């Protein structure tokens, strides 16, 4: 699904990996976005062996003695019904206790429960400070999710400036979708700071986000927020398409959508994949990985030929994507 384009040179895509406010995805938030992580084991940490009838009482005792890790472990087990009866309301209380004692994943998981109303009354306003605490505690994904809530303005009052702050924090902490979202929002509000936007795309590209590499290429292609450099732009576009193809092939629908948008709107790639299939096959067979990439895209998306996923995979295997 594509969002309205802001300009012909930019690929406009929906952000991925955000907190969903309805539908089946809600049940996956804890596992997918926050991972219900168990902190890495330390010598003094509670053991995590196979199901043990005596483990829950030991975790309970350790939690009451002030061990944040034990509180978090017990909360996760109570949340998921692992070795103890499932009790969402109690798991929320345990998450809050673990959060208070410094277990940042518990802050995130308690926030998710407040956002979804899972085991507790739905209270987005109470979730926000928990997400913020987890964000400042080093969980980049919570910074991103808080940015989404502030940007969308459905469960919290919309605050674009704060949303950018949290997106940029997520970006700095290694969440490339935060880089993309900060750049996207900065392009929509206030005076457009090209250098700042391009810097965010550069960071997102460095962290493996194909769509960020594409917009960084556009910046170099047009000399907007980056030095005019056609050769670097071409290399970044190639990198973007290769990265997006990997994501698309791995089942990331958003990456497939961005690729389709590039093939439809980027005149350079449109010309490349519009080349006769026999010519592409011949040059690919001579060892040109770029033409193998073009052939794979042509066959995968049916540009002038019937779609042929098997042949596309074979061409991509020769494109040296690794």
Sequence ranges of the domains in the chain: 266-322
| pLDDT at residue 45, rounded to an integer | 33
- Average of per-residue pLDDT across 134-150: 96
CB atoms near residue 51 (< 10 Å): 9
Percentage of the chain lying above the pLDDT 90 cut: 74
pLDDT confidence band for 53 (50 / 70 / 90): low
Pair 219, 194: CB distance under 8 Å = yes
| pLDDT at residue 55, rounded to an integer | 86
pLDDT tens figures, 66-95? 999 999 999 999 999 998 999 999 999 999
Collapsing DSSP to helix, strand or coil, 299 comes out as helix
Percentage of the chain lying above the pLDDT 70 cut: 83
Residues sharing a CB contact under 8 Å with residue 136, sequence separation 6 or more, in sequence order: none
- Average of per-residue pLDDT across 130-147: 96
- Predicted TM-score (pTM) of the model is 0.79
pLDDT tens figures, 256-312? 999 999 999 999 989 999 999 999 999 999 989 999 999 999 999 999 999 999 999
| pLDDT at residue 321, rounded to an integer | 62
Q: Where are the beta strands (DSSP E) in 166-271?
A: none
The two tokens of residue 167 are 């997106």
Is pLDDT above 80 for 43?
Answer: no
How far is Cα of residue 80 from the mean position of the Cα atoms in its chain?
24
Is pLDDT above 50 for 50?
Answer: no
Is pLDDT above 50 for 237?
Answer: yes
d(CA 101, CA 128): 18
More confident residue, 14 or 217: 217
Residues in the chain: 322
| pLDDT at residue 5, rounded to an integer | 28
pLDDT confidence band for 41 (50 / 70 / 90): very low
Report CA-CA distances (Å) from 83 to 91, 118, 238: 13, 20, 50
């Amino acid at each position: 699904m594509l969002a309205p384009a802001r300009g012909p040179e930019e690929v406009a895509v929906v952000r991925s990996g955000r907190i969903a406010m309805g539908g089946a995805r809600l049940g996956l938030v804890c596992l997918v976005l926050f991972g219900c992580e168990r902190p890495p084991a330390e010598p003094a940490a509670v053991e995590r062996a196979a199901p043990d009838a005596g483990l829950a009482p030991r975790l309970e005792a350790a939690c009451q003695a002030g061990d944040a890790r034990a509180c978090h472990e017990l909360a996760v087990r109570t949340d998921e019904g692992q070795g103890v009866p499932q009790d969402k309301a109690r798991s929320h209380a345990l998450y809050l206790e673990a959060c208070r004692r410094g277990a940042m994943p518990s802050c995130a998981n308690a926030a998710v429960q407040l956002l979804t109303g899972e085991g507790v009354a739905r209270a987005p306003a109470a979730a926000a400070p928990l997400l913020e605490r987890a964000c400042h505690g080093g969980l980049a994904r919570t910074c991103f999710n808080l940015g989404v809530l502030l940007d969308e303005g459905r469960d919290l009052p919309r605050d674009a400036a704060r949303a950018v702050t949290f997106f940029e924090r997520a970006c700095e902490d290694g969440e490339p979708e935060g880089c993309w979202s900060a750049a996207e929002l900065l392009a929509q509000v206030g005076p457009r700071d090209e250098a700042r936007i391009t810097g965010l795309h550069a960071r997102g590209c460095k962290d493996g986000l194909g769509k960020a590499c594409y917009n960084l290429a556009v910046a170099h292609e047009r000399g907007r927020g980056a030095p005019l450099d056609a050769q670097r732009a071409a290399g970044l576009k190639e990198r973007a398409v290769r990265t997006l193809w990997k994501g698309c092939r791995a089942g990331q629908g958003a990456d497939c959508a961005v690729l389709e948008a590039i093939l439809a709107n980027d005149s350079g790639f449109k010309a490349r994949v519009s080349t006769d299939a026999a010519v592409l096959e011949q040059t690919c067979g001579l060892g040109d990985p770029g033409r193998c990439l073009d052939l794979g895209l042509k066959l995968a998306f049916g540009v002038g030929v019937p779609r042929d996923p098997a042949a596309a995979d074979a061409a991509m295997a020769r494109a040296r994507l690794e």
